[in-house]
Amino acid sequence: MSSTGEPSIFTRIAAREIPATIVAETDRIIAFNDIAPQAPVHIVITPKTSQYSNVVELAAGDPGLLVELVEVANAVAATVSNGQFRLVFNTGAAVGQTVFHVHAHLLAPQTAAGTLGEGTLGFR
Ligand code: AMP
C-alpha cells in the first residue's frame, strides 16, 4: 500500500490489473517495459511487495531482496541486450521519483538482431 492506502501502480501491474509487457518474473520480483522509455531498452524492475518506497529502505529492510532485484536485472540485460546496463534508482521526488514503490530502471542499448541496433544509450 502507498501512503494514500491505494495499491501502487506496480502492485496493480503485478496483480495483472493493469496491462504491461512483463519481461521477467520470480516469486518476489517483476520486470516490465517502461511505458515511457528513455533508452532503447528501458525496463522497470520492482519487488512485488510495496513495503519499501525506495532503495535505501529496501537495502535496510531486506538486503536479500535487493540482491535478487540486481540478479534479475543482470539476467534480463543478458537476454534483451548485451549484458551491459545502467541500473537507476530514483530516490526522492526532487530527482524525479514519481512511484514510491521501490523500483530500478534498467537502461541498455538494444542489440538483438532485427531491433534498433543502436550501440549506445544516446543520453547522459
Ligand atoms: P520513477 O519516476 O523513478 O518513479 O519511475 C516510474 C516509472 O514508471 C516511469 O519511468 C514511468 O514511465 C513508469 N510507469 C508508470 N506507469 C507505468 C505503467 N503503467 N507501465 C509501465 N511503466 C510505467
pLDDT bin (cut points 50, 70, 90) of residue 5 is confident
Catalytic-residue membership of 103:
yes
% the chain with pLDDT above 90: 79
Residue 57 has pLDDT above 90, yes or no: yes
Residue where the block lists cell 540478479: 71
Element (H, E) at 106: strand 104-108
97 lines ligand 1 (CB under 6 A): yes
Tell me the CA–centroid distance for residue 105 and ligand 1, in Å: 9
Render 47-94 in DSSP notation, one character per residue.
Answer: ES--S-SSHHHHHHH-HHHHHHHHHHHHHHHHHHSSS--EEE---SGG
107 - beta bridge partners?
42, 86
69 CB within 6 A, ligand 1: no
The arithmetic mean of pLDDT across residues 60-83, rounded, is 95
Q: What angle do CA 9, 12, 13 make, to 5 degrees?
A: 90
State the cell numbers at 49.
511487495
Among 2, 8, 9, 23, which residue has the most ligand 1 atoms within 8 Å of its CB, making it the best to mutate? 9
Compute the average pLDDT of residues 45-69: 98
Q: Which one has a higher pLDDT value, 116 or 102? A: 102
Four-way CATH pick for 9-108: 1.10.3720.10, 3.40.50.1820, 3.40.50.980, 3.30.428.10: 3.30.428.10
What is residue 108's predicted lDDT score, i.e. its pLDDT? 94
pLDDT in tens, 89-100: 999 999 999 999
pTM of the model: 0.90
Residue 21 Cβ inside 6 Å of ligand 1? The answer reads no
| DSSP-assigned letter for residue 7 | P
Query: What pLDDT does 114 receive?
Result: 38
pLDDT of residue 81: 83
